[in-house]
Structure 1
């Protein structure tokens, strides 16, 4: 744990030379996590009150002792957040989370109103996402309190992206923000989201999802080192990394149904390097390896299985495994495998695209091939079609006129026609 600070700085200095061009899209084009863009299709987040066990009670005393001291070092807070049971309860997190991130929760800044923020280009999307997140608020709270929280969440998000205009809002960001809003309140939540957005979540808030997509490949690089059989099985099935996208973007806040699991993971992520969610994702996949193998080598079945995280998983074991993986295979040791995988996928994608084009060419009819050979000026545009209709009508009218009058004129002697002309003169 003593080397976390150096690890974080080294991760910030990393450069990614290869990216997946499939996801070279703007934030507006990225898929949402919800199956329905109008409502939140997730199950309701369960805010169950759990009686603390003996281990949690002992951990609470340690945290209260650290809080009573004015000189508790940062490494102590990190150790408390990482170790079993984390920071135990929200009443302790209220004070410990700002200390863990070394942010000052007090502020004399005036919060802007929703009306003042309504002209921001991201305003409508943020409103839509906040309205879809009703099930992530505690159940049974008064309507007025819920509406107030929704307004606070919207303001919180927009304040960050207005203060840092190079950052782009992404769908799922609100899942992170709502957790901090519920635990530490509006002022401290802004300070925390401000720091996370410029550090841990910085790559996720770029204009494109290229770096995010690149990072997700660390899951397979780590699987290759830790569980080769599982890696080969998932790779052969073509599962890909999309199942882990909401995990990484929201620190699992979008995918978990138990509130206690969400805040426990947030304890852990606040105290560990920025890429630790990927190690937890890998540890979670390995933890469920038997279920994955039982699905058979089928992409859709495995993706569906992994997309739904069951309740009451043993996250303490998963977090211990993730830390062990990080210590043995830090990101810099995985980078070569990640680049190799990205290069391989880029070549396969290019090959498949060429095969698809060739197949389409073979399936084209003779008329289509002939049509492609016609110069552009001969193509039947709307203007040329109108011209053709007009020309055809002219020919038809001329022909009819000839039938009616031209034949009669053929039977009139030329001399008679000439005399008639002379007499007319």
Structure 2
């Protein structure tokens, strides 16, 4: 696959027109009954070079790296370590045509494409089907610029089938929003068949914790960012901790390997080269390195949670990712995950204690602010109000008061019941 001139994030005029004129149709297609589902994947047969993402002309250094990778591909004795070194070192795997071959080798998956792929209709009964469809339809910025409408719909169908195949084969895995951003990157580079094998392996290994029924472990992992910041840049750590920034800014980075947050396709695939060749928690080290890289911008925002969160949530274009990756690798070697675990546990326990304290303070405040009606209602006898929220009890109480008032109004000061007055009159007659 050749590389591209324009970035994946910008749609050209033709694509913009197609998106605007067909968006309603795409959405309606996603809501069709099972009997009306049309599998359009035959419109899109994956071929090397099918989509052309061209970058600026290569430097001599990049051209040399390309020749080095091509030589390794031609050498049958090339080891896994060599593939990892090539993927991690400067410029990564350089081009998508090389990634087409090397990515499956990095993960040691079968690159054959003879497996039968089910149709969209066959998978449409899955409970996650509609959610996947909606997410895929929202991922237009990740599609090749200028792709004709028919091929775009076919690519969307391929992406939907790819995701559903994984979660059907592994029912203990749960689809999460952002998973499609990972899947489409592999789909665009290696095609539907090999992308399934890659996503299958990543989902059961690197992304496994993200695909559990709750996000508890994912939330826990994000705290490694602060533990690492404490080790390598205490000033940034203290500033962000004092501002109460938290970790949510990095959640899409971790869940999508930055695929959702980066505007430029070349940056996305460069990071994927790196993550495929490094340990599973490396995205957290890259996230920390990125935060430190932008430390001056963070300090300029002032110690304000909203401002810092907003700044970090938007990753600017044209960052020097090569230097960010070099720093991330140094951090990993100096402070591997096991050396950070104690700091992470301490931070999580502290946050949990603070959360419980705040919840108790809120309960106390609410208890102290109960209205007079609530206090009065709590003291009303059970026979008068059957339950605190019982409408019948309120009606009964109202009727009792009303009858008493009418009785007093009718009989005046003589508040005895009529049958008592009748008894008195009989006694006087005797």
For residues 212-267 of structure 1, what are the alpha-carbon distances to aligned partners after superposition, in whole Å with 9 as ceiling and x for unaligned?
00000000000000001111111001010000000000000000000000000000
| Aligned-residue offset at 1:368 | 2.5
Runs of at least 5 residues in structure 1 that lack an aligned partner in the other structure: 1-37, 39-45, 419-425
Alignment of 1:12-411 (within 5 A): 49-374=55-380, 377-379=386-388, 381-388=390-397
Return the alpha-carbon distance in structure 1 between the equivalents of residues 180 and 291 of structure 2. 25
Q: Is the 8 A contact 2:182 2:256 kept in 1?
A: yes
| Aligned-residue offset at 1:393 | 6.8
TM-score (normalizing by structure 2): 0.80
Return the alpha-carbon distance in structure 1 between the equivalents of residues 72 and 361 of structure 2. 63
Q: How many residues align?
A: 368
Runs of at least 5 residues in structure 2 that lack an aligned partner in the other structure: 1-26, 28-51
| Aligned-residue offset at 1:171 | 0.5
- Residue 390 and residue 286 in structure 1: after superposition, are their counterparts in 2 closer, same or farther (change >3 A)? same
| Aligned-residue offset at 1:365 | 2.8
Return the alpha-carbon distance in structure 1 between the equivalents of residues 124 and 389 of structure 2. 48
For residues 81-129 of structure 1, what are the alpha-carbon distances to aligned partners after superposition, in whole Å with 9 as ceiling and x for unaligned?
0000000000110111001111012144322222211111111111110
Q: Is the 8 A contact 1:237 1:298 kept in 2?
A: yes
| Aligned-residue offset at 1:390 | 5.4
Return the alpha-carbon distance in structure 2 between the equivalents of residues 371 and 126 of structure 1. 49
Return the alpha-carbon distance in structure 2 between the equivalents of residues 393 and 350 of structure 1. 47
RMSD: 2.5
What SS does the aligned partner of 1:364 have?
A: coil
- Residue 140 and residue 204 in structure 1: after superposition, are their counterparts in 2 closer, same or farther (change >3 A)? same
| Aligned-residue offset at 1:149 | 0.4
TM-score (normalizing by structure 1): 0.81
Return the alpha-carbon distance in structure 1 between the equivalents of residues 154 and 78 of structure 2. 35
Q: Is the 8 A contact 1:216 1:278 kept in 2?
A: yes
Return the alpha-carbon distance in structure 1 between the equivalents of residues 377 and 400 of structure 2. 22
Q: Is the 8 A contact 1:47 1:258 kept in 2?
A: no
For residues 343-369 of structure 1, what are the alpha-carbon distances to aligned partners after superposition, in whole Å with 9 as ceiling and x for unaligned?
111111111111122222222233323
Q: Which has the bigger relative contact order, CA under 8 A and spacing at least 6?
A: 1
Greater shift in the superposed pair: 389-398 or 345-354: 389-398
* Counterpart residue number, 2:43: none
